[in-house]
C-alpha cells in the first residue's frame, strides 16, 4: 500500500520552514504533540502532517473539535457509551479513541474541554486505558494524541482552568506556529496558490494579480491568517473571472475593499440593539484630549501657502497617530477615521514607506 501524501503546506519564510522541519522530526517519535497558533494558521494541517509522516501513516487519523460539543457529548464522543447510559443511548457506541486505535487522534481546541474530561484524557495519555460512559470494562487503546489550541495553556494551568499534569503529558513537544503577519514572504506565494487553485476549479486560466492587489495584500494585517487570505484570494479571483466571462475587459485580479472585508457595505446592519448597552462612561476631561487632535494649527494671520499648510498638518496627524498607536498602521488609520488603504497612500505620499513601523501587534 502506497503512503498517502502529507497535505500541501505552502510557504518559504524561514519561520515557516523551521516549523516544518520540527514537524518532520517530531513525527517520528510516537509521543503526544501540542500545536499552538492563532486561528487560521494551519494547526489541523500540521496535525495531519505529523500523522502522515509518522510510522502510523497507514492507520486511522481521527479528528475531534472539542469546542464544538457540550461536555457531556464530548465525553461520549471521545470515550463512547454503553446502551442505557443516558436518555437516547439505545445501543453501545464506540468513541473516537477506539476508532483511532493504532493511529492518531487530533484534539482541536483542547482548552475548551472540561476538567472532568481532562481527567479521563490524562488516564488515556498515561496508561492507554479508559471506560465507556456508563460502562465498567476497562478498554485499552494505542493512540497517539496531537492536541491544538489558540490560547496560552500554561497560563490557564496556573489559573486552575487546565490540568497541569495533563499539560505536562501533552507537551512532549510543542510546535508554535507563527501568524501570517510574521511571514510576509509567504503572502504573495499563498495568494498565487489559492488564486490558481480556484481558477482550476472554475476551469479557467488564472489572470494573475494586479500590482495594487499585491500591495494591498502585503499591507493587510490578516487577523484570520492563512484562512482569511485564502478566502480573500479565492473571492477576488472568482469575481474577476465571473465578470470577464460576462464580457468585462480582460486583466489581472484586483482587490477592492469589500474583497478584503466581505462585510464592508453601506447597507451593513447597524449594531445589534438586542445586546446590552455598555455602561455609561464619564466624559474625559479636556486635558485628556487626543494628542492627534492637539496637532491642529491656529488659523493663519496673513497670506499663507494653503497646500503646504495642509500637507504639514497631514504629516503631523500621521506622526501623532503612529506614535499613539505604537507604529501600528491599521490602528493609526482607525484612529484618524481613515481606511487602511487611505493611510497607506498618505504614508507613501509623504515618504514614510521605509520609516513607518510594520503592522505587528505590539
Say whether pLDDT at 354 is over 90. no
Angstrom distances, CA of residue 173 to CA of 28, 89, 93, 335: 12, 38, 32, 41
Strands 61-65 and 104-108: parallel
33 and 69 belong to one structural domain = yes
Domain that holds residue 199: 183-260
Q: What's the rounded mean pLDDT across residues 239-262? A: 86
Q: What is the CATH number of the domain that holds 226?
A: 1.10.8.60
Least confident of 71-75, 102-106, 294-298: 294-298
* Bridge partners (DSSP) listed for residue 33: 146, 173
Q: Is pLDDT of 270 > 90?
A: no
Q: What percent of the chain has pLDDT over 70?
A: 83
- 167 and 22 in one domain? yes
- Under the banding of pLDDT at 50, 70 and 90, the label for residue 133 is confident
Helix axes 187-201, 225-245, angle to 10 degrees: 50
Residues 235 and 248 grouped into a single domain: yes
- 133 and 55 part of one domain: yes
Same domain, 68 and 99: yes
Q: Give the pairing of strands 61-65 and 139-140.
A: unpaired
181 Cβ partners below 8 Å, 6+ apart?
221, 222, 359, 360, 361
Rounded CA-CA distance 144/30 in Å is 6
Q: What is the CATH number of the domain that holds 91?
A: 3.40.50.300
Q: 119 with 192, same domain?
A: no
d(CA 312, CA 316): 6
Residues 21, 82, single domain; the answer is yes
Please compute the mean of the pLDDT values over residues 145-154 and round it to a whole number.
96
The CATH number assigned to the domain holding 316 equals 1.10.10
Residue 339 has pLDDT above 60, yes or no: yes
Both 127 and 242 in one domain: the answer is no
| Domain stop point among 178, 197, 227 | 178
169 shares a domain with 34:
yes
Domain boundary among the residues 147, 178, 209 is at: 178
Same domain, 45 and 60: yes
Indicate the pLDDT class of residue 279, thresholds 50, 70 and 90.
Answer: low
In a domain, 287, yes or no: no
User: Does residue 284 belong to any structural domain of this protein?
Assistant: no
Domain boundary among 133, 152, 178: 178
The pTM for the full model equals 0.70
In a domain, residue 266? The reply is no
pLDDT score for 301: 62
Same domain? 104 vs 164: yes
CA dihedral 92, 97, 98, 103 (to 10 degrees): 160
Count of domains forming the chain? 3
Amino acid at each position: 500500500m502506497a503512503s498517502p501524501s502529507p497535505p500541501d503546506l505552502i510557504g518559504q519564510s524561514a519561520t515557516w520552514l523551521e516549523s516544518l522541519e520540527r514537524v518532520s522530526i517530531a513525527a517520528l517519535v510516537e509521543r503526544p504533540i501540542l500545536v499552538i497558533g492563532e486561528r487560521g494558521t494551519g494547526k489541523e494541517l500540521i496535525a495531519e502532517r505529523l500523522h502522515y509522516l509518522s510510522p502510523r501513516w497507514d492507520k486511522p487519523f481521527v479528528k475531534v473539535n472539542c469546542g464544538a460539543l457540550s461536555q457531556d457529548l464530548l465525553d461520549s464522543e471521545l470515550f463512547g457509551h454503553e446502551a442505557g447510559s443516558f436518555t437516547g443511548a439505545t445501543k453501545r457506541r464506540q468513541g473516537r479513541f477506539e476508532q483511532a486505535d493504532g493511529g492518531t487522534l487530533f484534539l482541536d481546541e483542547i482548552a475548551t474541554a472540561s476538567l472532568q474530561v481532562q481527567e479521563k484524557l490524562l488516564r488515556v495519555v498515561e496508561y492507554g486505558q479508559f471506560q465507556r460512559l456508563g460502562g465498567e470494562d476497562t478498554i485499552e487503546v494505542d493512540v497517539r494524541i496531537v492536541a491544538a489550541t489558540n490560547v496560552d495553556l500554561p497560563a490557564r494551568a496556573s489559573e486552575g482552568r487546565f490540568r497541569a499534569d495533563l499539560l505536562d503529558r501533552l507537551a512532549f513537544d510543542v510546535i508554535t506556529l507563527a501568524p501570517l503577519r510574521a511571514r510576509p514572504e509567504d503572502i504573495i506565494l499563498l495568494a498565487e496558490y489559492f488564486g490558481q487553485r480556484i481558477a482550476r476549479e472554475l476551469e479557467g486560466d488564472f489572470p494573475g494579480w494586479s500590482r495594487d492587489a499585491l500591495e494591498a495584500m502585503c499591507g493587510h494585517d490578516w487577523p484570520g491568517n492563512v484562512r482569511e487570505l485564502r478566502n480573500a484570494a479565492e473571492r477576488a479571483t472568482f469575481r474577476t473571472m465571473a465578470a470577464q466571462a460576462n464580457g468585462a475587459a480582460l486583466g489581472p485580479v484586483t482587490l477592492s475593499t469589500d474583497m478584503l472585508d466581505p462585510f464592508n457595505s453601506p447597507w451593513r446592519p447597524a449594531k445589534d440593539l438586542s445586546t446590552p448597552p455598555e455602561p455609561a462612561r464619564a466624559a474625559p476631561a479636556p486635558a485628556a484630549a487626543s494628542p492627534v487632535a492637539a496637532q491642529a494649527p491656529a488659523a493663519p494671520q496673513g497670506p499663507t501657502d494653503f497646500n503646504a499648510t495642509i500637507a504639514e498638518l497631514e504629516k503631523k496627524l500621521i506622526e501623532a497617530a503612529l506614535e499613539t498607536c505604537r507604529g501600528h498602521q491599521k490602528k493609526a488609520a482607525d484612529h484618524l477615521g481613515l481606511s487602511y488603504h487611505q493611510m497607506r497612500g498618505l504614508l507613501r505620499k509623504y515618504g514614510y514607506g521605509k520609516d513607518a513601523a510594520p503592522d505587528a501587534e505590539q
